[in-house]
Amino acid sequence: MRKFAVLVVLLGTLTLSGATKTAPIAPPVFAHPMAMFLTDLSKDGKRQVTFRASAFATRFFFEERAGVTVYKFVNGQYVKEAFIVGAKLQSAMKRYEKKP
């Protein structure tokens, strides 16, 4: 699951950094759960997917249109902790700035 978080952060960072359209950003290896997650997210390629993701301390934040899902790092993987309806990435991260 940690590889999943790193991959999502990498993809989000490269997308937001203005990487050229012709430069490939796909990693050389995908974990099976990550591949299945992206397949489901894009409805088998029928829709384009846009999301933002970030990690801070022991939490991973995943923003989509509906809001932000917050994951906490527990026993070597990120486990869903909360879903904040309608939130944006920065505001969700700010809520968890001082929580352990």
Query: Tokens 């029928």 — which residue?
Result: 46
Is residue 39 included in any domain, yes or no? yes
Q: Calculate the dihedral angle through the C-alpha atoms of 72, 88, 40, 2, rounding to the nearest 10 degrees.
A: -30
- Identity of the residue numbered 10: L
**Residue 60 burial by Cβ neighbours in a 10 Å radius (0-12, 13-18, 19+):** buried
pLDDT, the chain, mean: 84
- In this predicted model, what pLDDT tens digit does every residue of 50-88 receive, in sequence order? 889 999 999 999 999 899 999 999 999 999 999 999 999
- Please tell me the predicted confidence (pLDDT) of residue 63: 95
Domain presence at residue 100: no
For residue 10, give its domain range.
2-95
User: How many folded domains does the chain comprise?
Assistant: 1
Reported pTM: 0.70
Question: Within the chain, what is the greatest distance between any pair of CA atoms?
Answer: 41
Is 30 contained in some domain? yes
